[in-house]
Structure 1
Amino acid sequence: MIWSLQVLRFVAALMVVYVHAAQTAVEATGSNGLLPRDFQVVGFAGVDIFFVISGVIIARTAPGLTWRSFAWRRFRRIVPLYLLISIPYAIVAYKTGFGWRDAVATLLLWPATDQMTAPALPAAWTLCFEMLFYAAVTVVLIDRRLLAGLLGIFGLAMIFRSAGPVPQFLGNPLIIEFGFGVVLAYVPRWKPAVWCLPLGAAAMIAAGFIGMAPQGGTMEFLAGDNGFQRVLVYGLPAAMIVFGTMQIDAQPSAWTVLGDASYMLYLIHTLPITLLLMVWTAFPIPPDLVIVIGTATSVLFAWRMYVRFELPLRKFLRRHDSHLKTGACPTGLALRD
């Protein structure tokens, strides 16, 4: 089950890469190519699939860990690589104006101060929610009785979202998608549910053609504008896709390796796509070739960075695990989380 979700991780990352490559094609050529924009927007839903998968994985692995071990494992898996990749983006942002709000959003992945501020690395807006979810799980591992308080804070923040950036962030409806994953983690396997996968995918694609795809950019996503619409249009189909994928028996393969590299792909894909835009501006080619080459180059670049950089970094950081009382961990579940 976990291996099938690992493959789905790669698919979700590829969806995000595809939509950004398609946007580059429009910038370079003024055309969407053979596939209309109504189809291409489904790539944004890769983020929602990530959130649901995260809920499943964390719900299955966290109970076997102490809160210290869980917090450290999540930190070493997410933060060091993110900060290193953020350095060039932060340098560019510094030259154009990088204030204390930008520093807080970038270094702490906390976008809500007196105004909503995105991290320097554009893709990192999703990590703000991932880290918020991990923080909540850490609190629950300290004392499960605190879960009711966390749910109360989420409910109150959602009610008073209009009060400012902090309740907008803490009460963002996108957080519900992690909850979908937590629920799915405890649902028994049911083989016929594999049909949820194509049905969920069809629902996502249909959203663009019927005009229900959520609109907006990073700031709107952080603030939760049209958040309930996104949970309905992308979140529920994402949960269906994840549940359907959970019914598929998969084994380690090249696809699961790509799934393990999906975090690197998600973080770094905008770099080759942006560089290629300058090439397409000087040497125009058809938009569909822009999309294919941009997507393929991003995957290849991310894979090499994963092998040459991410894996050694993760191996180095794991050396510190022995200093923690890690507790038991279900075999095969946390190795790839």
Structure 2
Amino acid sequence: MSLLAAGAQRAARTGTGRLYEIDLLRIFAAVSVVLYHYLFAGYYKVVSPLGFEVPGLLARYGYLGVDLFFMISGFVVLLSAWDRTPRSFVVSRVVRLYPAYWVAVSLTALVSVLFGAGRFPIGLVQYLGNLTMFNSLANLENVDVVYWTLWAELRFYLIIFALTFFTITTRRVGIVIWTWLGLTAVYQLGVLPSSADLILNTQFSHYFIAGMALCMIYRFGPRPSWLVLVGLCLVNAVYRGVQFAGDVEDRFHTTLKTPVVVAAIVLVFAVMLAVALRLTTRLARPWFVALGALTYPLYLIHAHIGFIIFERLGDQVNKYLLVGGTTLLMVAAAYLINRYVEKPLAPRLKRGLE
């Protein structure tokens, strides 16, 4: 029996319960980004005194963890939005995003002001604008460099929000994602004005679109049209990914190997396709949820606070011990935010919004 046929049979006889393997993928993506910043990007952007020549050769590709994040979002956000009303969808996103984010913005701002020695200057208007998560609309700089991905996520949520005004069906999802991919191609040809990218989000749209298509495969089986769409998204992901790698090279005055970038992107698609086809269910473990819960707060707090720690202690502590200890500290902080902020505040915030 082919893999596609096996996936179809699993889709037919399995419900849409929690995908524990997605939680594992989330924490893997987060750790990849953390190592990218700690072992490579911080040093090359001259915000960290710690350089790692050999580990940095691998860690420099860790930014591709964000690509995995975006595809997971396309998958799980559409899955969670199914049968929701617009109000319910907005509430679910606010409850999911804001409690940990408010703490992360405040903590990062406080540490930057008290210990950053002016390296990451933060003004009151900038801080307040960041609390809304819409600071990019007002051209206010992010309190932490990693928050740029949240702006990409919010623009994707707007598309799902529009879908929730209608009953979400396979036909309507198909219309949306084929149209979105088509407009992405038209934009890349230079036909549409640059302002169109505010909605189309063309640098990463292929990941969100592919994630949505994989969600449909997960729910309804591997129809040829969905598989073709995923394949087209992969082609564009490689095309834009190679371009983006060139931007990374220019920004950090380094070299990235194109075959490695392409292989990583293909691997992201392959792993997520395996999840959608339910080929990974035997690998899933309920305790992966505990790891997945750390992903969002870990991602939010690690960068600037970590760089400040490196700057303060880099000449006093072995750099490997310092990176390892700081990473553990960030994981512990992520646990505390999840345990004492997200879990108790989320239900209260939900009740208040409802």
For structure 2, list consecutive stretches of 5 or more residues without a partner in the other structure.
Answer: 1-17, 222-237, 252-258
Distance 1:49 1:149 in 2: 21
Determine if contact 1:212/1:233 at 8 Å carries over to the other structure.
no
Q: Equivalent residue for 2:132?
A: 107
After TM superposition, give the deviation of residue 279 of structure 1 in Å.
Answer: 4.2
Cα 1:297/1:257, change in 2 over 3 Å = same
Q: Which residue of 2 aligns with 1:184?
A: 214
* The one of 33, 43, 63 aligned to 1:16: 33
SS at match of 1:283: coil
Once the two structures are superposed, residues 242-261 of structure 1 have per-residue CA deviations (whole angstroms, 9 ceiling, x without a partner) of: 233552222311x3212022
2:75 partner SS: helix
Question: How far off is 1:73 after superposition?
Answer: 0.5
Q: Structure 1 residues 112 and 235, CA, compared in 2 at 3 Å: closer, same or farther? A: farther
Aligned partner of 1:274 in structure 2 is 307
- Is 1:252 paired with 2:286? yes
- Match of 1:296, SS state, is helix
- The answer to whether the 8 A contact 2:89-2:161 is kept is yes
Report what 1:78 is aligned to.
97
The change in CA–CA distance for 1:155 and 1:29 in structure 2 (over 3 A counts) is closer
| Partner Cα distance (1:98, 1:160) in 2 | 37
In the aligned structure 2, how far is the partner of 1:269 from the partner of 1:161?
39
The structure 2 residue matched to 1:283, chosen from 311, 316, 324, is 316
Q: Given the alignment of the two structures, is residue 137 of structure 1 paired with residue 137 of structure 2, yes or no? A: no
Q: Which string of whole-angstrom CA distances, capped at 9 and with x for unpartnered residues, describes residues 77-97 of structure 1?
A: 113432342235557689947
Residue identity in the other structure for 2:213: V
TM-score, normalised with respect to structure 2: 0.67
- Give the one of 51, 70, 84 matched to 1:51: 70
SS across alignment from 2:164: helix
Q: For residue 204 of structure 2, what is the aligned residue in structure 1?
A: 174
Tell me whether 1:240 sits opposite 2:270 in the alignment: yes
CA distance in 2, matches of 1:318, 1:230: 43
Cα 1:316–1:272 change in 2 (3 A) is: same
Q: Matched residues in 2 for 1:232 and 1:169: separation?
A: 26
Change (3 A) 1:100 1:153: farther
Among all aligned residue pairs of Structure 1 and Structure 2, give the percentage whose two residues are the same amino acid: 20
In structure 1, how many angstroms separate the alpha carbons of the residues matched to 2:145 and 2:73? 20
> How big is the shift at 1:304?
2.1
Select the residue among 306, 318, 323 that pairs with 2:350: 318
Name the structure 2 match of 1:63.
Answer: 82
Query: 2: distance between equivalents of 1:102 and 1:166?
Result: 28
Find 2:176's aligned residue among 134, 147, 158: 147
- 3-state DSSP of counterpart to 1:297: helix
Moved more, 180-189 or 146-155: 146-155
Q: CA RMSD in A?
A: 4.0
Of 240-249 and 297-306, more deviation after overlay is shown by 240-249
- Who is 2:4 aligned against? none
Deviation at 1:107, TM superposition (A): 2.8
| Matched letter for residue 111 of structure 1 | S
Asked if the contact 1:52–1:180 (Cα under 8 Å) also holds between the matched residues in 2, the reply is: yes
1:48–1:234 contact (8 Å) kept in structure 2: no
Give per-residue Cα distances to partners, 1:171-221, cap 9 Å, x unaligned: 43212111111111122599xxxxxxxxxxxxxxxx9xxx9871546xx8x
For 1:51, give the aligned amino acid.
Answer: F
Report the counterpart of residue 145 of structure 2 in structure 1: 122
Which range moves more in the overlay, 19-28 or 173-182?
Answer: 19-28
Kept in 1, the 8 Å contact 2:298–2:330? The answer is yes
Confirm or deny that 1:2 pairs with 2:19: yes
Partner of 2:324: 292
Conserved? CA contact 1:12–1:49, under 8 Å:
yes
TM-superposed deviation, 1:58: 1.6
Distance 2:215 2:329 in 1: 34
1:124 shift after superposition: 0.9
Q: Name the residue aligned to 1:326.
A: none
Residue 170 of structure 1: CA displacement? 3.6
TM-aligned CA distance change 1:155 to 1:119, over 3 Å = farther
Q: Is the 8 A contact 2:43 2:49 kept in 1?
A: yes
